[in-house]
Structure 1
Amino acid sequence: MKPQFIFCSLLGLITPLVIGCNSLSNNQPPSAPSSPQPSNAFSPDLPDVSFTVQTDSGNCPATVGVWEFMLGFEGGADHTVVADFSPVAQLPVEMVQSEDRRVVYEAPLQPEYSTCTGVAQSAEFSMYTFRFTEGKIQFTVDLTQGDGYRNIRYADISANRPYVHWRATN
């Protein structure tokens, strides 16, 4: 056998013993288990992007949300956005407009929000807009603004949630 292999094998066997003996020789009492710390981990149950609803009139929800996934590649990225209609809307969810760079989904609002008139959007995610009007919620993905190539690759509804897969490149 080669000396390097023997040395590495012995080192692999001895290291846990040395570490174990060192921790056992510590004459301090065992510490109490630490309490769980809050984490910012991704929760599949809650959208990772929230939009504040700007209410014009009626009873509106405080926020609406989307799950936004991005997979970057050299010169661009693929994006998938899934709108969370379930807290504010009823069935059916429908795609009411679909073009190469723009898609609109619509659903009736829950009874408690049926009087809502307002908008939810953000500067960072300007391509996504929620509109509340006439007892309905509309979710729009509009890629017509901005530089570079942006195109909707696929749009549909799954589990009563509208989703759009789109690509942006330089």
Structure 2
Amino acid sequence: MKVLTNSLKILALLPLLALGVACAEIKNSDSTPIAQASPELERETPPGPPAEPNITILLERQSGTCPETVGVYSFLLPYEGGADHLVVAETQPFANQTKLAVEEDKFVEYQSNLSDRYLDCIAQAQSEAPNVYNFEFREGKLYFRVNLRDLQAPYQEILFADTVTDRPYVRWAIAD
């Protein structure tokens, strides 16, 4: 049971470690170490989330005034045989009033109103790795989609979908 308890403590810390929060040492109640940070984690990291999206996708413009790129904040929480993905689409520079329009086990679609500057934009963007994030600008709207239907894995599922500070937020998992 002690091994299980230690494993649960470590699992509870994975989101913090994935977001760049360093931990020097974790101890049991009897003061024996159960995890120590590697030297890479001991470097100075700025507090808080990254200032810019860590996935930037080139927008393929067809017509109108469009941004050059779109971005996604993506955080990976790995575990044996799979991973959870936390994704926030950066839509605030060009859209507002985001709402969840479609929610299924392997697909979500958000719809936002484009800002006045981009109302005539017609464009698309598709992520490459993973090939699951899609942005579409048309008819004064921005559509952001997460599509897991074509992933080649025994298990993939949208676990949670909502908006956070008027941005699309999705938590999805994939496993062997």
When normalised by structure 1's length, the TM-score is 0.73
Counterpart of 2:100 in structure 1 is 95
**In structure 2, C-alpha distance between the alignment counterparts of 1:162 and 1:118, rounded to whole Å:** 19
| Ranges in structure 2 where 5+ consecutive residues have no aligned partner | 1-44
1:68 matched to 2:74 = yes
Q: Which residue of 2 aligns with 1:152?
A: 158
Greater Rg over alpha carbons, structure: 1
Alignment partner, residue 120 of structure 1: 125
Give percent identity, aligned residues only.
39
Q: TM-score normalized by structure 2? A: 0.71
Measure the CA separation in 2 of the matches of 1:155 and 1:122: 19
Q: Relative to total residues, which structure has the larger strand share, 1 or 2?
A: 2
Cα RMSD for the two superposed structures: 1.8
Of 53, 56, 59, the residue aligned with 1:53 is 59
1: CA distance between counterparts of 2:118 and 2:130?
Answer: 24
User: Residue by residue, what CA displacement relative to the aligned partner does 1:58-114 show, whole Å, maximum 9, x if unpaired?
Assistant: 111001101000011110000010001100102x11111010100000101111111
Q: In 2, Cα distance between the equivalents of 1:123 and 1:85?
A: 19
| Runs (5+) with no aligned partner, structure 1 | 1-39
Per-residue CA shift, 1:23-70, capped at 9, x if unaligned? xxxxxxxxxxxxxxxxx9796231111111100111110011010000
Runs of 4+ displaced beyond 6 Å: none
- AA aligned opposite 1:152: I
Matched, 1:137 2:134: no
> How many pairs are equivalent?
131
- Report the secondary structure of 1:112's partner residue: helix
Match of 1:107 in 2: 112
